[in-house]
Amino acid sequence: MRRVARGLGMNRFTIGGIAATLVILGGPSVPRAEDTLTGEVVDLTCYLRTPSVRGPAHQKCAATCARKCPIGIVTGDGKVVLLLEDHDAPKPYADAIAKVAQTIAVEGDAVTQGGMPGIVVEGVK
């Protein structure tokens, strides 16, 4: 009987330790400190279907799509990051939409959920 009780205590301790480690190290959905990403703003509807269609030649279509579809940023190393509006401060996200098909720097909190990277847009340069 005592062995079972000690075993349960050890299991609780182990589970608590793992949970504390994940919190300290930052699990997959924990936002990091402010980040800056540089790359081209793309409308994800067109980009995901035809990645070669982008840049100034695609600006008019991208601007139309960006008003109603998700936007992202394609970094120099080809990574695609979803741009997210901060509902308490929507202006920087609107500034990013206005710069679609251009290279910009986006500042904000990087997040990842289910393997999808995103950044809450808090500033645009």
Q: How many CB atoms sit inside 10 A of residue 62's CB? A: 26
Angle at 125 between CA 98 and CA 117, to 5 degrees: 80
User: pTM here?
Assistant: 0.72
- pLDDT tens-place string over residues 61-118: 999 999 999 999 999 999 999 999 999 999 999 999 999 999 999 999 999 999 999 9
pLDDT of residue 98: 96
Rounded Cα distance between 112 and 114, Å, is 7
pLDDT of residue 69: 93
Q: Taking residues 51-66, report their average pLDDT.
A: 91
